[in-house]
């Protein structure tokens, strides 16, 4: 620890403080008193030092102490301990715990500290083998937000997110901003989902892939909307399960125009908006189709 005295005014004021103490002692004790000469001088010195000290404190000196501590780099295992993680069976779960323990030991052997965070506080910083995968709620964004808040000002370098990606609470972690690196270990079903064809005929197949699906559902379905980024666009009045039916109907209704467009402009981007917007059951819809036939955007026009 290093300490230093800091003056908010010129250090030369210390001399004035000493002079003030000396002057006060001389004026007070120069006359004869009932004390002996030695006692009188001792009292004068004590009174002078006391007055000088009081004057010194009036110039507001500060004592600053600097303490330097070295904290190891910290890596946090953010583990999804919900029940969906255990659907693969106890054998898979035991294997996962073993692999995570090996990874933890390897990181610690390189000089970093490893801490564990789960959905429940009871599982925090426990031994990996003691984690209970029984939580009913999966809030991945909340888990990462807690890590961000709890480790603010700490030497947190990386977070390893262990999850199957299934969340039934909070918002998508994609929309969060974090001041640390996130490495994900994906678990669960890795089966590739097929794209959905939207038109019934024509040389150009119009389809909806997972990226477009997430964009449309997360941005424009009222019960799933997570941001107000598209405030000038309205939300569907339909429920989530009905939106796909609306999309297929609108695309099929415009299919002839779409096919003709791509015959004339095979490398173009088909856009249906403004006065060209398609009508369906009381509302007009805007959408865009990329040159490969992928439906990239689809939303209801704001009234």
The encoded tokens of residue 77 equal 């295992």
Task: Round to whole Å and give the CA distance between 255 and 260.
Answer: 9
Helix (H, G, I), strand (E, B) or coil at 44: helix
Q: CA 264 → CA 250, 252, 258, 291, distances in Å?
A: 22, 19, 10, 12
Question: Minimal CA–CA distance to 300: which of 228, 254, 246?
Answer: 246
Q: Reply yes or no on whether the pLDDT at 271 is more than 90.
A: yes
18-75, pLDDT tens digit by residue? 887 787 777 776 666 666 777 777 877 887 888 888 877 777 778 777 777 777 888 8
Q: Reply yes or no on whether the pLDDT at 232 is more than 50.
A: no
Q: Where are the domains of the chain?
A: 2-66, 74-186, 196-301
Question: End-to-end distance of the chain based on CA atoms, in angstroms?
Answer: 67
Q: What is the mean pLDDT of the chain?
A: 77
In sequence order, the 6+-apart residues with CB closer than 8 A to the CB of 50 are: 21
pLDDT of residue 267: 92
Q: Reply yes or no on whether the pLDDT at 269 is more than 90.
A: yes
Where residue 230 falls among pLDDT bands split at 50, 70, 90?
A: very low
Question: What CATH superfamily classification does 74-186 receive?
Answer: von Willebrand factor, type A domain (3.40.50.410)
């Amino acid at each position: 620890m290093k300490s230093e005295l800091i003056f908010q005014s010129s250090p030369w004021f210390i001399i004035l403080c000493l002079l003030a103490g000396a002057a006060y002692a001389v004026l007070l004790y120069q006359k004869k008193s009932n004390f002996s000469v030695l006692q009188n001088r001792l009292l004068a010195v004590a009174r002078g030092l006391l007055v000088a000290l009081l004057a010194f404190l009036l110039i507001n000196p500060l004592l600053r102490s600097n303490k330097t501590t070295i904290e190891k780099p910290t890596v946090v295992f953010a583990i999804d301990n919900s029940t969906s993680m255990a659907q693969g069976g106890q054998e898979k779960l035991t294997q996962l715990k073993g692999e995570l323990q090996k990874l933890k030991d390897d990181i610690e052997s390189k000089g970093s500290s490893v801490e564990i965070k789960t959905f429940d506080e009871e599982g925090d910083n426990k031994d990996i083998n003691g984690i209970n995968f029984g939580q009913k709620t999966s809030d991945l964004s909340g888990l990462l937000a807690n890590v961000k808040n709890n480790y603010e000002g700490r030497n947190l370098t990386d977070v390893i997110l262990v999850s199957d990606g299934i969340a039934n609470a909070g918002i998508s972690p994609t929309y969060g901003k974090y001041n640390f690196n996130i490495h994900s270990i994906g678990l669960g079903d890795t089966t590739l989902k097929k794209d959905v064809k939207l038109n019934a005929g024509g040389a150009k197949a119009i389809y909806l892939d997972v990226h477009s699906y997430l964009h449309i559902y997360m941005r424009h379905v009222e019960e799933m909307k997570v941001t107000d980024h598209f405030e000038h666009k309205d939300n569907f009045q339909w429920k989530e399960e009905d939106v796909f039916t609306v999309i297929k109907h609108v695309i099929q209704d415009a299919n002839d125009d779409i096919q003709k467009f791509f015959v004339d402009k095979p490398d173009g981007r088909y856009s249906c908006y403004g006065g060209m917007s398609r009508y369906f059951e009381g509302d007009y819809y805007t959408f865009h189709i990329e040159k490969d036939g992928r439906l990239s955007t689809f939303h209801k026009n704001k009234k």
